[in-house]
Amino acid sequence: MQWCFILLYGVLFFTFIYCFFNTNILILIPTSIKHIYYEFYADKLTWFFESLFALGGALSNVYSLEYIKDEDYKNKFLLVLLVNTFIISMMGVAISYDIFSFLTFWEMMSVFSFLLVIFDFEKEENFKASVYYIVMTHVGTIFILLSFLGFYLNTKSTNFLHWTNTHLDFRWALFVFACSVIGFGMKAGFIGLHNWLPKAHPVAPSFVSALMSGLMIKLPVYMFIRYYFYFLKDYPSSFGFFIIIISLFTMLFGILNASIQSMLKKILAYSSMENIGIITLGIGLAMVFKSYGFYKFSYFILMASIFHILNHFLFKSLLFMGAGSVITRTHTQDINKLGGLIKRMPRLSIVKLIAVLSISALPPFNGFVSEWLLYQGILISAKTHIKALTILSIASASFLALTGGIAMLTFVKYFGLSFLGKARKIDINRISDIGFFSFVSLSILASLCFILGIMPFIALFFIKRLFGVDWFNKDFGVFMIYSPMNFGYISPVFIAFGIIISILLVYLYLSKPYKIYKTWACGLSNVPSIAQYSADGFSQPIKKITHLLYPKNKDLFDVIYEYVFTNVVYFMQKLKNKIQSGVLQVYIAYMAITILIVVMVAKYV
């Protein structure tokens, strides 16, 4: 069954690439209800995101060919069907261009992702995580609906095309902005709205986690771009400053929490929160530039954010699916029990190392280039002579540098303690490397991480055409990438060439006769785990400095959410007992009232 979907997504991928260069589409499907119809519209931005969904769908299905067999799920057919319906619903969200079609596909995406999180429902942690997720995602949907209501009341239209360049007075603009930040920020994982991320990702099937982190949480970012660069024509710079501030705290809070985790997928879940902060930092800066009329700088930094969306999809999908292969073979995701996997899983180790170097933003891999472009946008903002922007740009550069340093430390722990050293509490001799199809899917992602690191102009060639501007035609060449006003430039090809030459020289220098010894464990060869760093010991310095953020070994928002959530569940149970009276006449009355409300809405709206 997966082969049918792989073929479908392959055809769709090349179709979307063709449409990117050749056509926009508009499809209108009327309904029998007055003023209600389904509208679908696709421009270059839509085709770009749709191509990511198609590529992600194809690679996740290739990976699942072996993963589902290894995990031995009871209902494999249902799992494959749910996953691909989830992917198709994400495609539907991106192409939807009116309230009703958007909410239909958004709800499908939320429900099917919920079913995938709870798929292994016999485990208590899966059930709890899925309840958190479905409650939070519907709270977010309420705020999204309120933001739509703000546009509708001002335009008298449910059509997104009619919202383009909408002029709203400050009160309505503030209302729409606040609701969109809460609604879409809930799904993206902004700080304070992120609680479902570290709960849902670790328990979902690993290739589903890859889809949720690599693709699903990018849809709110896609809508941020639509809202603030397509729908709203005028808004104050304070909106952009707010996005910048919340992004800074999101990315720092995310990577701090990732650094203290010992579970593979929990590290990656919090890291997704960090990367969402990095992406929306660029969007916030672009909003500020736009509000002050610096349109060239605005599109440059927005382009950097979109490039990081692509890069994060590649290396985070690779990391999650690679983590799934580790968990399947070792039956644990606790780093404290792993170690020495590089000896038994060399193929997986190579692709995982590429992913770790990419997410750590080290050259010559793709994460380095997109973060370099973001740094350029931040540094340029300091040259605008706008005091608030100058101060915030210094803070942004500092936060981004600090986040990058902690990210590097986190993924040294992630890779080093899992793949290097000696095995701690697993039988290393019974572990086998990944199979052919898993290696193919992971190798494609790893190759793209490397290719876009040394030849980023391939991606930038597409991205710079998203907004119909031609300011950058000479700025992205094969050998050199410039920022506006020649503020900075790099040559990824020469960087890669220099690194390769350095590695070859080191190899030639060390290519003398040598002996192979066992991994040294400070003389304690029989009990190597005592002599090796544990995951907790590795991150102890950070945890000690930031201990106030982690009461009772949970993050601060975990404690708040558990208190609120417990009381909400208690209230809902009481309400249920009141509503469910067991009297047939009462249920008939509920139905009559509901039908009456629907009829009145259909008549007067």
Average pLDDT rounded to a whole number, residues 447-461: 89
Please name the residue ranges forming H helices in 170-294: 170-188, 197-200, 206-214, 219-226, 237-260, 264-292
| Domain boundaries of the chain, sorted by first residue | 1-188+200-229, 236-549, 557-604
pLDDT of residue 279: 95
Angle at CA 212, nearest 5°, toward 440 and 192?
145
- How far is Cα 286 from Cα 292, in angstroms, rounded to an integer? 10
Are residues 409 and 420 in contact, defined by beta-carbon separation less than 8 angstroms? no
Q: What percent of the chain has pLDDT over 90?
A: 40
pLDDT of residue 562: 62
Average pLDDT rounded to a whole number, residues 563-586: 66
- How far is Cα 253 from Cα 247, in angstroms, rounded to an integer? 10
H or E, element range at 399: helix 387-419
Extended beta strands in 127-197, E state: none
Average pLDDT rounded to a whole number, residues 330-359: 90
- How far is Cα 544 from Cα 557, in angstroms, rounded to an integer? 18
pLDDT of residue 72: 75
- Whether 280 shows a pLDDT value over 90: the answer reads yes
pLDDT of residue 561: 60
Query: What six digits make up the tokens of 128?
Result: 């709890």
Q: Is 18 exposed, middle or buried (0-12, 13-18, 19+ CB in 10 A)?
A: exposed
Q: Which tops the pLDDT comparison, 3 or 56?
A: 56
Q: Which residues contact 488 (CB under 8 A, 6 or more apart)?
A: 376, 379, 482
Give the β-pairing of 481-482 and 25-30: unpaired
Are residues 484 and 300 in contact, defined by beta-carbon separation less than 8 angstroms? yes
Average pLDDT rounded to a whole number, residues 262-285: 93
Q: Which residues contact 512 (CB under 8 A, 6 or more apart)?
A: none
pLDDT of residue 473: 46
pLDDT of residue 470: 53
Give the model's confidence band at 90: pLDDT under 50 very low, under 70 low, under 90 confident, else very high: very high
Give the model's confidence band at 475: pLDDT under 50 very low, under 70 low, under 90 confident, else very high: low
- How far is Cα 78 from Cα 120, in angstroms, rounded to an integer? 12
Half-sphere exposure of 168 (CA within 13 A, CB side): 28
Q: Which tops the pLDDT comparison, 598 or 44?
A: 44
pLDDT of residue 568: 65
pLDDT of residue 502: 83
Give the model's confidence band at 457: pLDDT under 50 very low, under 70 low, under 90 confident, else very high: confident
Average pLDDT rounded to a whole number, residues 344-356: 93
Distances (CA, A) of 231 to 159, 176, 177, 180, 228: 11, 11, 11, 12, 6
Digit-coded pLDDT (tens) for 309-320: 999 999 999 999
Q: Which tops the pLDDT comparison, 472 or 195?
A: 195
Q: What percent of the chain has pLDDT over 70?
A: 84
Give the three-state DSSP class for 205: coil
Q: CB atoms < 10 A from the CB of 520, how many? A: 12
pTM above 0.75, yes or no: yes
- Average pLDDT value over all residues in the chain: 84
pLDDT of residue 80: 92
Instruction: Give the end-to-end CA distance of the chain in Å, rounded to a whole number.
Output: 44
- How far is Cα 476 from Cα 483, in angstroms, rounded to an integer? 9
- The verdict on whether omega for the bond into residue 551 sits within 30 degrees of 0, i.e. cis, is no
Are residues 360 and 411 in contact, defined by beta-carbon separation less than 8 angstroms? yes
Are residues 204 and 119 in contact, defined by beta-carbon separation less than 8 angstroms? yes
Digit-coded pLDDT (tens) for 367-426: 999 999 898 888 888 777 788 888 888 888 899 999 999 999 999 999 988 888 777 777
Query: What six digits make up the tokens of 525?
Result: 């060869």
Q: Which tops the pLDDT comparison, 205 or 422?
A: 205
Which letter does DSSP use for residue 28 in this model? E
Q: Which tops the pLDDT comparison, 218 or 571?
A: 218
Digit-coded pLDDT (tens) for 93-106: 999 999 999 999 99
pLDDT of residue 355: 94
DSSP string, 452-507: HHH-THHHHHHHTTTTT--TTTTTB-SS-EE-GGG--EE-HHHHHHHHHHHHHHHH
Are residues 40 and 27 in contact, defined by beta-carbon separation less than 8 angstroms? yes
- Whether 124 shows a pLDDT value over 50: the answer reads yes
